[in-house]
Structure 1
């Protein structure tokens, strides 16, 4: 297992994600709710170490 480079740039509720190859994806986080452009999934932070995730709909 090798070392992995990751960097996040936060601009208000918008989060830009970068890897060693450059731009990776963007996320939007408002309060406990978030959405990621790569996974196209909604996530809601629950109390403690838990979170709820709804994957993109499958047709």
Structure 2
């Protein structure tokens, strides 16, 4: 297993994600709900270590 560089920059509810190759994706997080531009998935944080995720169907 190799070492992977990952970084996040938060600007209010907007989160920019970076890898060793540069910009990767952006996310929007409002309260317990979040959406990621790369996976196009909705996620809701649940109590404890749980979360609920809904992927956007791809055609």
Q: Hey, what's the Cα distance between the residues in 2 that align with 1:3 and 1:54?
A: 29
Q: Residue 58 of structure 1: CA displacement? A: 3.6
Counting only pairs closer than 5 Å after superposition, residues 24-43 of structure 1 correspond to structure 2 as 24-43=24-43
CA RMSD of aligned residues (A): 0.8
Q: Hey, what's the Cα distance between the residues in 2 that align with 1:58 and 1:39?
A: 10
Structure 2 stretches of 5 or more lacking a match? Answer: none
Moved over 3 A (4+): none
Q: Residue 45 of structure 1: CA displacement? A: 0.3
Q: Hey, what's the Cα distance between the residues in 2 that align with 1:58 and 1:3?
A: 31
Aligned length: 59
Structure 1 stretches of 5 or more lacking a match? Answer: none
Q: Hey, what's the Cα distance between the residues in 1 that align with 2:22 and 2:4?
A: 13
What's the TM-score once normalised by structure 2's chain length?
Answer: 0.96
